[in-house]
Amino acid sequence: MSIVVGRAPARVSLVGGGTDLPAYYERHGGAVVSLAVNLYSYGQASPRSSDLELVSLDQGTREVISPAQFTRRMRPPIIAQEFLTYQKAVAWHFGIERGRIAVASEVPAGSGLASSASVCVALVVAAARFVGEQMDRAQIAETACRVEMNVLRRPCGKQDQYAAAFGGMNLFEFFRDGSVDVTPLKIADDTVKALEGRLMLFGNGARRNSSSVLAEQARRSVSDPETVEALGRLKDMSYEVREYLETGRIDEVGRLLDRAWIAKRFLNSQVSTPMIDRVYALALESGALGGKLAGAGLAGTLLLYVPPEDQDEVRRTLATQGWRERPVGFDWEGAALCAEVGAPKVLQET
């Protein structure tokens, strides 16, 4: 059996984040517009005759589980502590008792770019091919959702896994019964090029664990009327931004990002910080039309919509605050099987 390598992109959510949490969409339905970017995670599955080896090249970790231990320990999970790694959870899901499951990523952990979902989708692609299971993109996304939400018990939504599986720019609609509709946006090539030239990503090296933010947001999605109202506005804005993109009114996208960020800050106290508010205000003063913090909140990556003539000034201003640009482009392929012989450099141990 050959070495199998799966690849999946990161994503930037434009608007609607939070409406993909079950606590909200099971009551009201949700909608998110997001785009995949060309930062990738890789999952590898390869033969091993005697046991199961679980490896993270990013963290420098390695765990070996014998078949006897697999039978005893990899039981249907009662508590998530049994499955602290994505490699272990995916191996359990696919019943892989012998083999090497490895992961590596170009996506900074805790950056708000959905690194965990990118990793999980890449692993699902590799593991499914390794065991001979055929999956379309929707099945890959749903499997990754089950691994994260049911096996690992992460308080996450569904948008990240779908963005990683499908790639491109899409409207994702989440229905009360848990089903998901994926609608690729019909955007002219010149509009895509203009948008790619106006969206800028900045990071300051700070990382956060989104679990506490998402758990609090899920709770408020049920009990707090103001949170429910804010999420409803964000859901409506998803359809609005789709219209702007499909009709080429991209500057309106920037202005809508600003309105969406204001609405998102109502979701809970952990979405932003005084430092992030100050940096965002400076970006607007320097020429940005709008933006948002990628991910759940507190820290991560700042997405800004900036006309070309103002980008140098925004770069200089944010650099004085310790925020540096992270140049990225769009990804149109989504999850893919990128190798069945050998392994990309990112997965090779040194």
Tell me, yes or no, whether 27 and 170 share the same domain. Answer: yes
Tell me, yes or no, whether 97 and 57 share the same domain. Answer: yes
Question: Would you say 157 and 22 are in contact if contact means Cβ atoms under 8 Å apart?
Answer: yes
Nearest to 308 by CA among 347, 228, 254, 258: 254
Nearest to 222 by CA among 268, 275, 164, 260: 268
Tell me, yes or no, whether 27 and 169 share the same domain. Answer: yes
DSSP letter assigned to residue 350: -
Residue 297 structural domain:
189-325
Model confidence over 47-92: pLDDT tens digits? 988 899 999 998 888 999 888 777 655 555 544 455 578 999 999 8
Structure tokens at 7: 């690849």
What does the alpha-carbon distance between residue 241 and residue 159 come to, in Å, rounded to a whole number?
Answer: 16
Tell me, yes or no, whether 161 and 212 share the same domain. Answer: no
Tell me, yes or no, whether 132 and 156 share the same domain. Answer: yes
User: In total, how many domains does the chain have?
Assistant: 2
Q: Which of 103-107, 113-117, 265-269, 344-348 has the lowest mean pLDDT?
A: 344-348
Tell me, yes or no, whether 167 and 262 share the same domain. Answer: no
Nearest to 258 by CA among 286, 291, 235: 291
Average pLDDT over residues 105-121: 88
Tell me, yes or no, whether 9 and 155 share the same domain. Answer: yes
Tell me, yes or no, whether 37 and 150 share the same domain. Answer: yes
Tell me, yes or no, whether 162 and 243 share the same domain. Answer: no
The CATH number covering residue 241 comes to 3.30.70.890
Tell me, yes or no, whether 86 and 226 share the same domain. Answer: no
Quick one: what percent of the chain has pLDDT higher than 90?
A: 65
Q: Is pLDDT of 350 > 50?
A: no
What does the alpha-carbon distance between residue 61 and residue 124 come to, in Å, rounded to a whole number?
Answer: 20
Structure tokens at 48: 């091993």
What does the alpha-carbon distance between residue 260 and residue 16 come to, in Å, rounded to a whole number?
Answer: 8
Q: What average pLDDT does the chain have?
A: 88
SS3 of residue 237 by DSSP: helix
Tell me, yes or no, whether 42 and 106 share the same domain. Answer: yes
* Ramachandran class of 17: left when φ > 0, alpha when ψ lies in -120 to 50, beta otherwise: beta
Tell me, yes or no, whether 136 and 17 share the same domain. Answer: yes
Show the DSSP H helices in 286-346 as ranges.
311-319
Model confidence over 205-218: pLDDT tens digits? 766 555 666 667 77
| pTM score, whole prediction | 0.90
Would you list the DSSP string of 46-91?
E--SS-EEEEETTTTEEEEE-HHHHHHHSSSPSSGGG--SHHHHHH
